[in-house]
């Protein structure tokens, strides 16, 4: 599932701090995966620099795009 892949990206960038981001991705996914990624990216600013958070968000969006193309 796409959310699991997004969680892997969060772990890559945030390490042990990814747990809160993972919960955001899970709980916000029903509202729309793009919204979930936006929330995760913004919240990650508390743990990593803005540039890294933006890279994380970009990588997550690329995964979602790949899923949309595949379906």
Q: What number is the average pLDDT over the span 36-50? A: 92
pTM, rounded to two decimals: 0.86
pLDDT tens-digit profile of 12-39? 999 988 999 999 998 887 778 889 999 9
Query: How far is 43 from 32, CA to CA, in rounded Å?
Result: 17
Q: Is the pLDDT of residue 50 over 70?
A: yes
Query: How far is 71 from 66, CA to CA, in rounded Å?
Result: 9
Domain of residue 12, residue span: 2-70
How high is the pLDDT of residue 1?
Answer: 78
Q: What number is the average pLDDT over the span 48-70? A: 93
Total domains in the chain come to 1
Please calculate the CA angle 20-8-42 and round it to the nearest 5 degrees.
45
CB 57 within 8 A of CB 38: yes
Name the pLDDT band for 71 (thresholds 50, 70, 90).
low
């Amino acid at each position: 599932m796409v959310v699991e892949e997004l969680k892997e990206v969060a772990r890559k960038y945030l390490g042990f701090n990814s747990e809160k981001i993972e919960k955001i991705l899970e709980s916000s996914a029903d509202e729309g995966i793009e919204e979930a990624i936006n929330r995760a990216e913004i919240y990650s600013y508390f743990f990593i620099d803005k540039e890294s958070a933006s890279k994380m968000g970009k990588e997550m969006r690329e995964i979602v795009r790949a899923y949309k193309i595949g379906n």
